Amino acid sequence: MATVQERIEDKLAAVFAPEHLEVVNESGSHNVPPGSQTHFKVVIVSERFAGERLLGRHRAVNGALADELAGPVHALAVHTYTAVEWQKRFGDAPMSPPCRGGDGGRRL
Amino acid sequence: MSAATDTLDKIREQIATHPIILYMKGSPQAPQCGFSAQTVQCLMQCGERFAYVDVLSNPEIRATLPSYADWPTFPQLYVSGELIGGCDIITEMHQAGELEPLVKDAAKTVVATDD
């Protein structure tokens, strides 16, 4: 069975045809049990984002991962760039902030 | 009136009456999540007062806001009644110098709408 990370990678690859795609499982830095697949960071470079504001870009990513966000995924850091924006950053995406405890991974 | 409708009404009123309002985990003084903490940092550096709602102590808002807002996670920042984004967007806007003018413009409306 595919891991949550693999499912995220497959869905984003299918929807955005990205030039660059990075999905990082950051769960180990958070207040959840070892081996969790709850906190992820995605970095996507795609021309689909051209002319789209950040809010629209992030909604598109969230939409592509709606099943995961409604299920196992608790936190999703999203960094979206066009090829030109990515070049300007020299291929460097921001770090995610450190955990502050949260509620121990409890869901709603 | 159902509890869900009550919660939606409460959210609508909060967003309508506070030109700058942050839905977050914990409080600005004691954020309970790194994403909320980083968003508060960006917002505080804009130098304007802002309202906040701790969704950890308001579970009904935590359950209702994501579908209303079409935004699955917290924090969520609203300025002048409009969703601006979560931590990644706020941080990026802050670094680009776009957050402060937006927040300052919204803060001016507080005086204008007071009786």
Q: What is the ipTM of this complex?
A: 0.87
Q: Select the residue from A39, A41, A81, A108 to test the B interface by mutation, using most B Cβ atoms within 10 A.
A: A108
Domain membership of residue A100 (yes or no) is no
In this structure, is residue A20 part of a structural domain? Answer: yes
Instruction: Report the residue count for chain A.
Output: 108
Report how many Cβ contacts below 8 Å link chain A to chain B: 63
Q: Does A108 score more than 80 pLDDT? A: no
> What residue spans define the domains of chain B?
3-107
Q: Which CATH number fits domain B3-107: 3.40.30.10, 3.40.50.9100, 3.40.50.970, 3.40.50.2300?
A: 3.40.30.10
Please name the residue of chain A whose CA is at the shortest distance from the CA of residue B30: A100
User: What is the domain range of residue A76?
Assistant: 4-90
pTM, entire model: 0.91
Q: Tell whether A72 is covered by a domain.
A: yes
> Is A97's CB within 8 Å of B84's CB?
no
A2 CA: distance to closest CA in chain B (Å): 23
- For residue range B11-34, list pLDDT tens digits in order: 999 999 999 999 999 999 999 999
Task: Please confirm whether the linkage preceding B75 is cis (ω < 30° from 0).
Answer: yes
Nearest CA in chain B to A97: B34
Q: Characterize A10-39 residue by residue with b for buried, 16 or more Cβ atoms within 10 angstroms of its Cβ, and e for exposed.
A: ebbeebbebeebebebbbeebbbeeebbbb
Parallel, antiparallel or unpaired: strands B76-79 and B82-85: antiparallel
Kindly list the residues from chain A whose CB atom is less than 8 angstroms away from the CB atom of residue B28.
Answer: none
Domain annotation covers residue A78:
yes
Burial B28-51 (b: 16+ CB within 10 A, else e): beebbbbbbbbbbebbeebebebe
Q: What is the pLDDT of residues B44-93, one digit of tens each?
A: 999 999 999 999 999 999 999 999 999 999 999 999 999 999 999 999 99
d(CA B37, CA A97) in angstroms, rounded, equals 8
Residue B19 · residue B77 · CB < 8 Å: no
Give me the CATH number covering residue A13: 3.30.300.90
DSSP 8-state assignment for residue A38: -
| A75 contacts B71? CB cut-off 8 A | no
Domain count, chain A: 1
Let me know: does B114 contact B27? Beta carbons within 8 Å. Answer: no
What is the per-residue pLDDT for A36?
94
pLDDT over 70 (residue A107): no
Q: Is residue A71 part of a domain?
A: yes
Q: Is B69 on the interface with A (CB under 8 A)?
A: no
